[in-house]
Amino acid sequence: MNATPQSIATRPAATISDAQFKTLSEIAFSEAGLMISDSKRQMIQSRITRHLRDIRCDDLEHYLREIQSDKDGNLTRDLISVLTTNVSSFFRERHHFDMLRDDVLPGLVKRARSGHKIRIWSAGCSSGQEPYSIAMLLLNCLPDIQNLDFKILGTDIDRKILDRAHRASYSPDEMASLPSDMSRKYLISTQDPKAPYEISGVVRNMVTLRPLNLLRPWPMKSTFDAIFCRNVLIYFDAETQNDLWPRFHAALGDQGTLFLGHSERIQSPEKVGFSPCGVTTYTKQNLGKVRPEP
């Protein structure tokens, strides 16, 4: 955009006015459902300053005008990427993976062995640790998985973080949460000192990564046996969350399992066709069996 390299490089953090912060919050909400409260102002300010520096723009007002007339959506997509929080780790909230292995997988394997395809969706998969953890768990539990039809879909609104997920290479710190037997089996060395390990092809081949905004229509035609949507809805308001429960219900097959993040809950699960079956975990119930409210 419009500045000299020196003026940008030496510029202190942009101060965002109340009106500019409001505009940014409105874009985050309408485009991605993200609630940006005033307590996040400092964080947003430093992210936006870095972003403006990266795109060589020295005028936030001008940038916001460009966003509002953004025809092809590229500027807006990049802004959403700046505003999302992408924290993730391998086998995060370990109890969900134990539950998948011990309680959910036996039924799925039975179905797979009788010729059914099994589909698992990691919705809001960020840099890929969640879908790759699921794939490693499946490979570890099922030595003959190559003969069964198991696939994992990882989606995220943030295309930049999906590029990272595609690269599937991580720093030693990021790899630290991988159990050692999994590291031995499913990591390969790279030439990059900053990311000396990457996920092996056998794991990556089980995972398909696609951009998807949860607020917009979902193009998937078949249903899922399990959905992981963890630490995503926490950024949405109650109304947006409530709009999503019926959509998750419809996206799950019979008895499908929905895994949410540690601070996410369905308030009245039985009203939207779910029954709790573990820590922030729900099983799909047939809505026909749900009793109407008196």
Is residue 261 near ligand SAM by the rule CB under 6 A?
yes
Query: Closest approach of Cβ 132 to ligand SAM, in Å?
Result: 11
How far apart CA 223 and CA 220 sit, in angstroms, is: 8
Angle at which helices 74-83 and 18-32 cross, to 10°: 100
Contact residue for ligand SAM among 23, 49, 126, 241 (CB under 6 A)? 126
Between residues 151 and 271, which has the closer beta carbon with respect to ligand SAM? 151
Catalytic site includes residue 94: no
Query: Closest approach of Cβ 61 to ligand SAM, in Å?
Result: 26
Query: Closest approach of Cβ 158 to ligand SAM, in Å?
Result: 4
Bridge partners of 274?
284
Is residue 215 near ligand SAM by the rule CB under 6 A?
yes
Query: Closest approach of Cβ 191 to ligand SAM, in Å?
Result: 27
Is residue 9 near ligand SAM by the rule CB under 6 A?
no
Between residues 115 and 219, which has the closer beta carbon with respect to ligand SAM? 219
The DSSP string of 143-166 is: TTGGGS-EEEEEEES-HHHHHHHH
Catalytic site includes residue 50: no
**What is the separation of C-alpha 200 from the centre of its chain, rounded to a whole number of angstroms?**
21
Using CB under 6 A, count the residues that bind ligand SAM: 25
- The region, left, alpha or beta by phi > 0 then psi within -120 to 50, assigned to residue 217 is beta
Binding segment for ligand SAM (CB under 6 A), chosen from 35-43, 46-54, 59-67, 82-90, is 82-90
Binding segment for ligand SAM (CB under 6 A), chosen from 10-18, 55-63, 152-160, 191-199, is 152-160
CA distances from 192 to 89, 90, 188, 284 (A): 20, 20, 12, 44
Contact residue for ligand SAM among 20, 231, 281, 283 (CB under 6 A)? 231
Is residue 157 near ligand SAM by the rule CB under 6 A?
yes
Give me the sign of the Cα torsion angle 229, 232, 238, 241.
negative
**What is the separation of C-alpha 24 from the centre of its chain, rounded to a whole number of angstroms?**
21
Is residue 124 near ligand SAM by the rule CB under 6 A?
yes
Residue 196 burial by Cβ neighbours in a 10 Å radius (0-12, 13-18, 19+): middle
Query: Closest approach of Cβ 56 to ligand SAM, in Å?
Result: 24
Pair 169, 190: CB distance under 8 Å: yes
Query: Closest approach of Cβ 57 to ligand SAM, in Å?
Result: 22
Bridge partners of 227?
121, 258
Is residue 92 near ligand SAM by the rule CB under 6 A?
yes
Pair 121, 227: CB distance under 8 Å: yes
Is residue 175 near ligand SAM by the rule CB under 6 A?
no
How far apart CA 179 and CA 24 sit, in angstroms, is: 40
Binding segment for ligand SAM (CB under 6 A), chosen from 26-34, 36-44, 104-112, 185-193, is 26-34
Among candidate residues 78, 119, 156, 225, the one labeled active-site is 156
Footprint on this chain of ligand SAM (rule: CB under 6 A): 32-34, 84-88, 92, 124-126, 130, 156-158, 161, 213-215, 230-232, 235, 261
Q: Give me the active site residues, please.
A: 47, 156
